[in-house]
Amino acid sequence: MPASANEGPWARVANVNRYLRKDIRYVPSPLTVVQGMLELGQLTSNDFLIDLGSGDGRIPIEAARLGARARGIEIDPSLVKRSRHHAEVAGVASQVEFRQQDMFAADLSEATIVTLYLRDKVNASLQPKLQNELRPGTRIVSHSFCMVDWEPDVEIEVDTKLVLLWTVE
């Protein structure tokens, strides 16, 4: 057991959390990219999508519009509020929820699809969590950013943006 929070695996999480707050800014995915992500992930009405760093909620809301259930995980309370409002306006509030939560603390075990638009460094820190919590067959779809040591199953380009898919084994 580490002697302090500055040692061991918790230090990495703390460092990533500082990185998230300091260096990641909300940048919305264009709707064409959102649609491309959901198509690449082969979203169906039987799916439960979790979007990590859900911003204004556009990915979970679009998934709900397509008949899936969805959850957005976002640390910024103003974006969570905006997401809930957008879900109400879109008429999908009963199919989607938004949680103000640190993505490293979120339970991902229910997901059949996980979407993200995060930086490579954050994706790398999420990899052990994704591997440990997601069931085989769960799809991970990323807008623009890769995973360290994981070769994507498929890479496509949507309006000059890279979209990648991995399937948990």
Average pLDDT, the chain: 88
What is the side-by-side strand order in the sheet with 161-167? 96-100, 69-74, 48-52, 113-116, 139-143, 161-167, 154-158
pLDDT digit string, tens, across residues 135-150: 999 999 999 999 988 9
Single out the residue of 91, 50, 92, 88 nearest to residue 72, CA to CA.
50
Q: Which residue has the higher pLDDT, 4 or 60?
A: 60
- The answer to whether the beta carbons of residues 60 and 116 sit under 8 Å apart is no
What confidence category does residue 24 fall into, taking pLDDT thresholds of 50, 70 and 90?
Answer: low
What confidence category does residue 76 fall into, taking pLDDT thresholds of 50, 70 and 90?
Answer: very high
Amino acid letter at 103?
M
Domains and CATH numbers, the chain: 27-167 (3.40.50.150)
Q: What CA dihedral angle connects 79, 111, 135 and 101, to 10 degrees?
A: 30
* Least trusted range by pLDDT, from 15-29, 37-51, 55-69, 76-90: 15-29
Distance of alpha carbon 63 from alpha carbon 48, whole angstroms: 9
pLDDT digit string, tens, across residues 84-98: 999 999 999 999 999
